[in-house]
Chain A
Amino acid sequence: MRPIGGALLAFAFLIMAQLVVWRIRRAGHYTALSVLSLVVLMLSVATFQALQTVTAGALRFLPQSAWDYWNFMMLYVALTLAYMITYSAVQADSPSMSILLLIDQAGARGVVATELMSTLNDQVLVVPRLNDLLVGRLALFESGRYTVTPSGSFLARIYIAYRALLKMEKGG
């Protein structure tokens, strides 16, 4: 279980580092989290190696051999990717979650659709996501019109092809 122990420790370190760094300077782009995860990976490998050297390999829950480190790195990458995907749900307000919370707040009287629409309007559900496309340089806003950039077009093509491959209609 050495790769699992190492990956969990490194991941816990990443979470702590992110909480500290984000409180000081919150990054809006995924590049910052990717860079932080790579820095944590390198620091973890160096720390594990130093600890194993100092203790003469007595720490059985940390990677030791090259094979251990390979499996540790695969697991850490998978953990970090899963975390980044989950983190995007933290950054953006999910309509489904917002609807559930609004209905729950209403308690026993429930909520009618017009109440939901008055809170969850275009300014809340659509405009922030258009801004995300601008921030991610996937779209441009010029002369009152939104257009896709080449990278945005590339991403759109991937999803169009993928949905066609699955024989599924446009999502959203």
Chain B
Amino acid sequence: MTRAVLTLTPFVALGTCIVVHVILSRAFPGLARPLGILLSVGVAGVGVVGVALFGPADRLPAAVGPPELAAVWLLTYVLLAYCYVIGFFNLGESARRIRLLIDLHQAGRRGLSLEEILSTYNARMIVDVRLHRMITGGQVRQQDGVYYTRARIMLAAARLLVWLKIAYLGSRSELSAPTPSERPAPR
């Protein structure tokens, strides 16, 4: 293992995590998506700690101890893996922007009117999919067509987001927030 590769261990681990994720997703299509993510992130995480603790330490600066290196690399890797899962995989999974972009791309040069877009992707579909996911995930329960909250963790996360919105945007919702200074006038 060359020194250059060693110095980039967290990034190499991220690459490993993505490769493992792709292999697992293709080999086991029925595997629950959170489990696939957890396994991929975990396998590469174990690798990072292993390289830091038992890797070729003679190729690294002597001033850093293996436990310290393991802590720094693992923290860096976990954050990078978070970026991959939340910022890339999850965007393709649930982001409305990406879904709309793909629909527009597939429409070609002619594009789509708002009515055409809403005929294939609209608020009802978005809400239905989310409700189904949250019922399956145990955050929400349904009884006689009425929805109730169930687990409190995601609700706590939603409240935290509201506080962050107030701190950053000065508003509880993007719709009531002041317009960003860089945003051009709507066309």
Which of A1, A29, A85, A96 meets B133, CB within 8 Å? A96
Q: Which residue of B lies closest to A83 (CB)?
A: B79
Which of B110, B145, B183, B187 meets A141, CB within 8 Å? B187
**In the complex the two chains form, is A116's CB within 8 Å of B181's CB?**
no
Query: Which residues of the other chain, B, contact A19 by a CB distance below 8 angstroms?
Result: 167-168
The answer to whether the Cβ of A99 comes within 8 Å of any Cβ in the partner chain is yes
Query: Which residues of the other chain, A, contact B100 by a CB distance below 8 angstroms?
Result: 126, 129-130, 133, 139, 172
Cβ distance A146 to chain B, nearest Cβ, rounded Å = 5
The answer to whether the Cβ of B184 comes within 8 Å of any Cβ in the partner chain is yes
C-alpha spacing A147/B68, complex, angstroms? 51
The answer to whether the Cβ of B178 comes within 8 Å of any Cβ in the partner chain is yes
Cβ distance B95 to chain A, nearest Cβ, rounded Å = 7
Interface of B is mostly: helix
Query: Which residues of the other chain, A, contact B32 by a CB distance below 8 angstroms?
Result: none
Query: Which residues of the other chain, B, contact A125 by a CB distance below 8 angstroms?
Result: 96, 123, 126-127
**In the complex the two chains form, is A75's CB within 8 Å of B148's CB?**
no
Question: How many interface residues does B have (CB within 8 Å)?
Answer: 97
Question: How many interface residues does A have (CB within 8 Å)?
Answer: 88
C-alpha spacing A113/B147, complex, angstroms? 8
Cβ distance B162 to chain A, nearest Cβ, rounded Å = 7
**In the complex the two chains form, is B161's CB within 8 Å of A97's CB?**
yes
With A100-B134, A171-B99 in contact, is A145–B140 under 8 Å at CB? no
Cβ distance A128 to chain B, nearest Cβ, rounded Å = 7
Q: List 26 A-B contacts (CB under 8 A).
A: A26-B168, A26-B178, A29-B180, A81-B80, A82-B82, A85-B83, A90-B164, A93-B175, A95-B130, A96-B133, A97-B161, A99-B134, A100-B149, A110-B143, A111-B146, A120-B123, A129-B96, A130-B114, A130-B117, A134-B186, A146-B104, A147-B107, A147-B110, A148-B101, A159-B101, A162-B92
Residues of A whose CB lies within 8 Å of any CB of B are: 1, 3-4, 18-19, 22-23, 25-29, 32, 65, 67-68, 70-71, 74-75, 78-79, 81-82, 85-87, 89-97, 99-101, 103-104, 109-113, 116-117, 120-122, 124-135, 138-141, 144-148, 152-153, 155-157, 159-160, 162-163, 165-168, 170-172
